[in-house]
Amino acid sequence: MEVGNFNYKAKDVIFKEGQSAGKVYEISSGEVLCLKWNKDRLVPIMIARKGDRLGEATFIRNGKYNYSAVALSYTETNPISIQTYKAEFSKSPEWMPALLGIMASRLHHTMDLLTENRIGILSEQEFPPALEIELKKLLG
């Protein structure tokens, strides 16, 4: 892991969908809402918590984040560079990256299907229109 933590306040954007990925973020504390765009709507796809990693499959896929991540509360993360992540994977058995690539591709396909059909993980009470509007402004 890299030296130091990256700390975020509630509603800080950690990364945006489509942005070039330079880091994987391991959550040390707090909660992060992960969202995908579907036309003019934001669809919540995951809440990451302590021990979860964000952006872990980007280097397997295309080098870009395929969702946006916004801190829900004060959040501490340990950043891991993509280069460090790749170096660790190079130590794995040769079949491991291929297997993880297949699994990542299937997961991303499932997330895309859920997003296209606007099936989010939160109810309208948990993700009210006012919050969606606020997050749209942040993620522009």
Q: What is the pLDDT of residue 61?
A: 65
Average pLDDT on 4-8 reads 79
Is residue 1 a part of any domain in this protein? no
CATH code assigned at 82 = 2.60.120.10
C-alpha 39, offset from chain centre:
19
Average pLDDT on 85-107 reads 82
Tell whether pTM > 0.75: yes
Q: How many domains does the chain have?
A: 1
- In tens, the pLDDT along 105-117 reads 888 888 888 888 8
| Rounded Cα–Cα distance for residues 112 and 65 (Å) | 13
User: Under 8 Å CB-to-CB from 50, ≥6 apart: which residues?
Assistant: 27, 28, 29, 30
Q: Which domain covers residue 77, as residue numbers?
A: 6-139
Is residue 63 a part of any domain in this protein? yes
Report the percentage of the chain scoring pLDDT > 90: 50
